[in-house]
């Protein structure tokens, strides 16, 4: 699996011939996004920073758009969308947390959450993920301290911060006692390489 970070909460995930987009940035956003073709695209919130499906359609490649709570199966991949509430720019939105597994690696994308605790119902639907994507101090999201605390309660093997600036990232790494972590261009990882890891923070640069 290859994970590439494209800013805000936008990720490109590749596994063999499968290309998946997570929270693509729309052309209507104030943030500049990237364009590529994907087979599946997940959007956590109906907001220009997260719902740019048009940016991940290229040529004849048009993604299956998933943009809310529910259970989905695409190309043998089971995806669970879990509804939570959030605030973005002072306005209330539905935030969908996504839990899925690709080739033996389980992922949890928390989306632009604004509460550092999950309801018992939401927590119960999230298995302990191998990799969790968590916002760290971006506008409308939880603080670095809340983010790290929440990530550890999920028992993730790898924690990937998103939606951060230099200050919030530094605070997050300090909370985790992993201040020496250096950003990577992308993460290439196999399921067997996750064995034995516990709460390891990996920073990807956009």
Residues forming a β-bridge with 72: 79
Task: Give domain status of residue 86, yes or no.
Answer: yes
Q: How many other CB atoms are there within 10 angstroms of residue 45's CB atom?
A: 22
Confidence of residue 120 (pLDDT cuts 50, 70, 90): confident
Percent of the chain residues topping a pLDDT of 90: 84
- Could you give the number of structural domains in the chain? 1
Task: Give domain status of residue 206, yes or no.
Answer: no
205 burial level (CB within 10 Å; 0-12, 13-18, 19+): exposed
Percent of the chain residues topping a pLDDT of 70: 99
Yes or no: say if 17 and 101 are a contact pair by the CB < 8 Å rule. no
Whole-number pLDDT of residue 206: 87
User: What is the DSSP secondary-structure string of 68-106?
Assistant: SSEEEEETTEEEEEEEEEEEETTEEEEEEEEEEEETTEE
Task: Give domain status of residue 121, yes or no.
Answer: yes
pLDDT for residue 150 is more than 80: yes
pLDDT for residue 124 is more than 90: no
Task: Give domain status of residue 139, yes or no.
Answer: yes
pTM for this prediction: 0.95
H or E element in which residue 122 lies: helix 120-125
Per DSSP, 148 falls in state H
Range of the domain at 138: 2-201
Average pLDDT score over residue span 14-33:
95
pLDDT for residue 139 is more than 70: no
Task: Give domain status of residue 90, yes or no.
Answer: yes
* pLDDT, mean over the chain: 94
Task: Give domain status of residue 62, yes or no.
Answer: yes
Name the token pair of 149: 């605390």
Of 22-31, 33-42, 85-94, least confident by mean pLDDT is 85-94
Indicate which CATH number applies to the domain containing 68.
3.60.15.10
* 75-113 per-position pLDDT tens digit: 889 999 999 999 988 899 999 999 999 999 999 999 999
Whole-number pLDDT of residue 104: 92
Task: Give domain status of residue 180, yes or no.
Answer: yes
pLDDT for residue 117 is more than 90: no
User: Smallest Cα–Cα separation from 166: which of 156, 179, 176, 154?
Assistant: 179
pLDDT for residue 138 is more than 80: no
145 burial level (CB within 10 Å; 0-12, 13-18, 19+): middle
Average pLDDT score over residue span 66-80:
93
Return the SS3 of 165: coil
Task: Give domain status of residue 89, yes or no.
Answer: yes
Average pLDDT score over residue span 190-195:
95
CA distance 137 to 8: 11
CA distance 131 to 101: 10
* 153-179 per-position pLDDT tens digit: 999 999 999 999 999 999 999 999 999
């Amino acid at each position: 699996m290859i994970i590439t970070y494209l800013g805000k909460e936008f990720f490109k995930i590749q596994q063999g011939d499968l290309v998946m987009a997570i929270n693509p940035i729309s052309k209507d956003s104030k943030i500049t996004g990237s364009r590529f073709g994907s087979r599946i695209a997940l959007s956590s919130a109906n907001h220009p920073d997260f719902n740019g499906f048009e940016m991940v359609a290229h040529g004849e490649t048009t993604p299956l758009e998933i943009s809310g709570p529910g259970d989905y199966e695409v190309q043998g991949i089971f995806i669970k969308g879990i509804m939570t509430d959030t605030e973005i720019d002072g306005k209330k939105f539905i935030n969908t947390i996504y839990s899925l597994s690709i080739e033996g690696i389980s992922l949890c994308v928390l989306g632009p959450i604004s509460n550092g605790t999950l309801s018992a119902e939401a927590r119960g639907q999230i298995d302990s993920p191998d990799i969790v994507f968590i916002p760290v101090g971006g506008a409308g999201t939880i603080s670095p301290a809340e983010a790290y605390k929440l990530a550890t309660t999920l028992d993730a093997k790898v924690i990937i911060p998103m939606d951060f600036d230099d200050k919030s990232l530094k605070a997050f790494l300090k909370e985790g006692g992993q201040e020496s972590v250096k950003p990577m261009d992308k993460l290439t990882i196999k399921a067997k390489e996750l064995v034995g890891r516990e709460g390891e923070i990996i920073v990807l640069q956009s």
